[in-house]
Copies of this chain bind each other. A is one copy, B any other.
Amino acid sequence: MASSPVPHEPPIYRRIADRLRQAILAGEFRDGDRLPGENALMSEYGIARATARQALAVLINEGVAVPKRGSGVYVRHFRPIRRHGSRRLSREQWGTGKAIWDSDVTGRPFTVDDIVIAREAAAEDVGRVLGCGEVWVRRRRYSVDGRPVQLAASHFPADLVEGTPITVPDTGPGGVYARLGDLGHAPVHFTEEVRARMPSPDEAAKLRLPAGTPVIEVCRSAFAAGGTAVELNKMIIDAASYVLQYDFDA
């Protein structure tokens, strides 16, 4: 008997999520607009509550929508900060200065909190890059407009920086790179390794990330003239708040 050779209809909750996503892309819902809630979907489609929730969960985990307790589910905003890798080659001199993504947060001041400076045993990966067993670590959190956007942890070989201003909160004019220069180890080269992943619960809490928001993990190594690694800066960045820009010549 010819059984229906249908190429597999998606489940109800997927179809609803797809419809809502389409409506958002088509502009029927704008940034910040309230989407139909669980009750609305239940009555509109004649489905159970859990199914309506599942449909909304799809959009939430895609980062397209954000739930607000007791209020509703809302279309999400994307307003990135632009972070330049090598400022020396930065884009202004190239092309018409046109970028793919707008970044209207650029220029607003960062605030810093949660500063912790400590001498620690180096984690396995950090020790391998810096070539040492003990490190001084400077941890802090950056915020823009009161919204946390980045966690950073700078690691230095303990023997190299012991007793210098790098081990205290105020590093003096020029910051840690100037102090490394004072030591005869000014960074002359950087390499950044970039990956993206979903945040750990700890990172999600510290950055106040809604579901569906990845983080970008940037590990920047700084090298002095001899080729020795003098700093390793691990950054955890709210992916919804940032665009990274790298410039280089052919």
Binding site for B on A (CB under 8 A): 18, 21, 50, 61-64, 80, 85-86, 88-89, 91, 93-96, 98-101, 125, 128-129, 131, 186-201, 211-212, 214-216, 219, 221, 223, 227-229, 232, 234, 239-240, 242-250
Q: From residue A116, how far is it (CB to closest CB) to chain B in Å?
A: 21
Q: From residue A11, how far is it (CB to closest CB) to chain B in Å?
A: 13
With A197-B240, A246-B192, A247-B189 already in contact, the answer to whether A129 and B63 are too (CB < 8 A) is no
With A62-B198, A195-B242, A195-B243 already in contact, the answer to whether A187 and B100 are too (CB < 8 A) is no
Chain B residue contacts of A249, Cβ below 8 A: 86, 88, 188-190
Closest chain B residue, CB of each to CB of A232: B100
Please give the count of copies of this chain that the complex contains.
Answer: 2
With A94-B189, A201-B18, A221-B95 already in contact, the answer to whether A194 and B248 are too (CB < 8 A) is no
Closest chain B residue, CB of each to CB of A64: B198
Chain B residue contacts of A61, Cβ below 8 A: 61, 198, 211
Chain B residue contacts of A215, Cβ below 8 A: 196
Chain B residue contacts of A223, Cβ below 8 A: 94-95
Whether A192 and B227, one on each chain, are in contact in the complex, defined by CB atoms closer than 8 angstroms, is no
Given B125, B198, B239, B246, which contacts A195 in the complex, CB threshold below 8 Å?
B239
Q: Which of A91, A188, A196 has the most CB of B within 10 A?
A: A196
Q: Which of A89, A188, A214 has the most CB of B within 10 A?
A: A214
Q: List 6 A-B contacts (CB under 8 A).
A: A98-B129, A187-B250, A191-B246, A194-B246, A196-B215, A214-B214
